Amino acid sequence: MKSAKILLLAMLFVAPVVFAGTVSIQSTGVAIFPGDLFSVDVGVSNISDLYAFQFDLTFDPAIISATAISEGAFLPSSGATFFFPGTIDNIGGAITFNADTLLGAVSGASGSGVLATIQFSALGPGSSPIGLSNVILLDSSLGDISAGVINGSVTVSPEPSNRAPAGLIFMGVFAWIRSRYGVSRRTRPATTYSAQ
């Protein structure tokens, strides 16, 4: 009986953490090849009264390279904002100090949406984790909002063998035009030289 009471007390004090919502990496799910440009959203779901946020993001700089960061539509849906796009470090594979805040005495945004969009360039084949860290969410009273974090990843596929280079496509189109419209290759007239 004594051990049952101890177990019950332990269960009461070790209650699971309940998050108000989640912050997650949301990739497009389209096939990505070396040289492609693509974007990844940092999204939020089931959040109430979000007034400001901050996060850092990490990635594999051998696979992908960050090119730009833009504000998502979620926070501006509640009023004017001040967005700070953070600092891109493509050597270390990090984007730090991304932040956004509403301005003035307004209620925070509630629901689900996109906090920020990061554009990347695919460098080479492989899989790159995309991780969130230092995530801070504040409500309109500047109190912390607890939220779960869901990281993501992107996979850059090797160049498919059936993907023709642009030069071959152009040559094929030019050959079709020549055959269709009877355009022939011009021949250069012979040049004659006279001895002086």
Give the model's pLDDT for residue 27: 82
pLDDT for 114: 97
Task: Give me the amino acid identity at 52.
Answer: A
Tell me what the mean pLDDT of segment 149-171 comes to: 72
Q: In terms of pLDDT, which residue wins out, 124 or 28?
A: 124
CA-nearest of 98, 60, 93 to 82 is 98
> Taking the C-alpha atoms of 28, 32, 38 and 42 in order, what is their torsion angle to the nearest 10 degrees?
40
CATH of 18-156, one of 1.10.645.10, 2.60.40.680, 2.60.40.10, 3.40.630.30: 2.60.40.680
Residue 85 has pLDDT above 80, yes or no: yes
Higher pLDDT, 46 or 28: 46
Q: What is the DSSP string of the chain?
A: -HHHHHHHHHHHHSPPP--SEEEEEEE----B-TT-EEEEEEEEEEEEEEEEEEEEEE--TTTEEEEEEEE-STGGGGS-EEEE--EEETTTTEEEEEEEEE-SS-PPEEEEEEEEEEEEEE-SSEEEEEEEEEEEEEETTS-B--EEEE-EEEEEPPPPTT---HHHHHHHHHHHHHHHHT-----PPPP-----
pLDDT by residue (tens digit) across 113-135? 999 999 999 999 999 999 999 99
The C-alpha atoms of residue 104 and residue 140 are separated, in whole angstroms, by 10
> What are the residue boundaries of the structural domains of the chain, listed by start?
18-156
- Output the pTM of the full model: 0.71
Q: Which of 154, 52, 72 is nearest to 112 (CA)?
A: 72
Residue 8: pLDDT band with limits 50, 70, 90: very low
Find the radius of gyration of the CA atoms of the chain. Answer: 28
Sign, Cα dihedral of 153, 88, 70, 140? positive
